A and B are shown apart, each in its own frame.
Chain A
Amino acid sequence: MTDHYDVLVVGAGPAGLAAATAAASHGARVGLIDAQATAGGQVWRHDVEHGDTALARRNVAAALEHPGVTWLAQTRVVGVEAGALLVEDPKNARWLRYRALILATGARELLLPFPGWTLPGVTGAGGLQALVKQGWPLRGRRVVIAGSGPLLLAAAVTARRHGAQVLGIYEQASADNIQRFARSLWRWPGKAAQAVGMRAQLVGAPYRCGSVVRRAFGETHIQSIEVDGPRGLEQIACDHLAVGYGLLPNVELAQLLGCDLQLVGVHPRVSTDAQQRTSVEGIYATGELCGIGGRDSARFEGAIAGHAAVGDDAHVARLQRHRQHARRFAELLDRHFALDPRVHALAEPDTLICRCEDVPLSALDGYTDARSAKLATRCGMGACQGRICGSALAELARFPRNGSRPPLFPARLSTLGSDPSSVR
């Protein structure tokens, strides 16, 4: 089965929705795919209990209800050929052929190992938000939010709205850095208002800076944690720990397509020009994929790519100023939420690093590249394909992640057997 699109957009978060809407406004035949069942991405993920914000509803509807846009839910990319992607949905595999491809694959959380992080009841911070919005029960549960970045506040607000007792928010960045960050926010009034609004919703939940969760305790489920903060070590009994150390671009598809990447610290992002063009002809990258900048830069970059993909340079030029302003926010985040060295030293020799294959840190001593470590220890060989442990090991300065290889996600055998010649 094959479909042809003028513009194919991968990812239906703020960037992908804006890209699809912009391209379709010029009469292009647009395909919009996402691995999730509903559009919105992570930031506009549908909340089963509380519904969506007006902004999310408006942006999702603008793309999905446009007659030029074909929406393909629960569709994930498995492989690539020149001008086509191999995708599978819960039932079928097919090739999607395109003239222009816009990547809006977003970000995932940086999840770092510490003793006890494999216990049920420990999730990412954004991870908790995603689970709760889809009905994960939190009513009456004692929840600790930890890690780093503005996402912690958002996760705490969502948890509380769903009935959780938020015991505290533990941010690893120092109080000085957080104050400097807050003082710089006036240049982004929307973000400042959002921050104030979130704090107001979190009255009674302490926000502690310079604090790192050192370990989680429990037998078959988390029961308590140990926090290292300015006031020393503290033990906290809890039912859930949501801990995330910021976001990382999902570059795997771009990498497989041959797009040039650049490193921000130790983690890759996709390089683009001001029109969101990657190094590969006809392929654009947008939003978090090009560096973590949040919802606003994603929306502007998505729109820029959508207009650029159909040749509307005037529209692209008009959006540049907005894009640059939104992107400067990304630099602010990088500067003020840089990770404390304590965070890199949490894993102990017997702490599992690769959760798919249960490989402890000590088994990785002496290896200087991901491939030899994988061949000898199975680290990174499991179902997540090193998405969690590979990024963690890069962050811990062990070795960089391997390049991506097909299939991009575990796929059905029948999918892998789909004939690319049927594309033509």
Chain B
Amino acid sequence: MSALILIQVNGCDVEVPAGTSVAAAIARLELPFRRSVRGQWRAPLCGMGVCFECRVHIDGVAQQRACMVPVREGMQVSTDD
């Protein structure tokens, strides 16, 4: 089993194996990802960087596709609220 990586999503700690995507880490906390322009909750659809439904803030940078980014120790992620 690979090493565990600790990140924070909306201020909550979540520890996941190295190589896990930010998307999967968010899903472990059962959080939604973003609100659509009409205010609906959205979560990943394509899983491979095409649909942009999984956009979140990562370390202060907006519009990052959570499915494309592996977790890094100490990463700060925030979803829409």
Which positions in A face B, CB cutoff 8 Å?
Answer: 35-38, 42, 46, 48-49, 74, 90, 108-109, 111, 118, 120-124, 126-131, 134-137, 220-221, 355-358, 382-384, 387-388, 410
Contacts and interface: CB of A to CB of B under 8 A. Distances in A.
B49 A383 contact: no
Given A48-B19, A135-B20, A36 B49 contact: yes
Nearest to A385: B52
Contacts of A108: 46, 48, 50
B55 A383 contact: yes
Interface in B38-56: 38, 40-53, 55
Nearest to B24: A135
Nearest to B43: A120
Nearest to B52: A383
Q: Please classify the interface of chain B as helix (H, G, I), strand (E, B), loop, or mixed, using the class held by over half of its residues.
A: loop
Contacts of B28: 135, 137
A205 B60 CA distance: 43
A388 B45 contact: yes
A133 to B, nearest CB: 9
Nearest to B18: A48
Leading 7 A-B pairs by shortest Cβ distance: A135-B20, A120-B43, A130-B47, A127-B47, A135-B24, A134-B21, A383-B52
Contacts of A109: 46
Contacts of B48: 36, 42, 108, 126-127, 130
Contacts of B45: 111, 122-124, 127, 355, 388
A384 B51 contact: yes
A67 to B, nearest CB: 26
A221 B42 CA distance: 9
Nearest to B39: A358
B17 A135 contact: yes
B12 interface: no
Contact of B32 (A35, A36, A120): A120
A59 to B, nearest CB: 19
B77 interface: no
Contacts of A135: 16-17, 19-21, 24-25, 28
B70 to A, nearest CB: 5
13 contacts: A37-B69, A42-B48, A121-B43, A124-B46, A127-B44, A130-B46, A131-B24, A135-B20, A136-B21, A137-B24, A355-B51, A358-B38, A388-B51
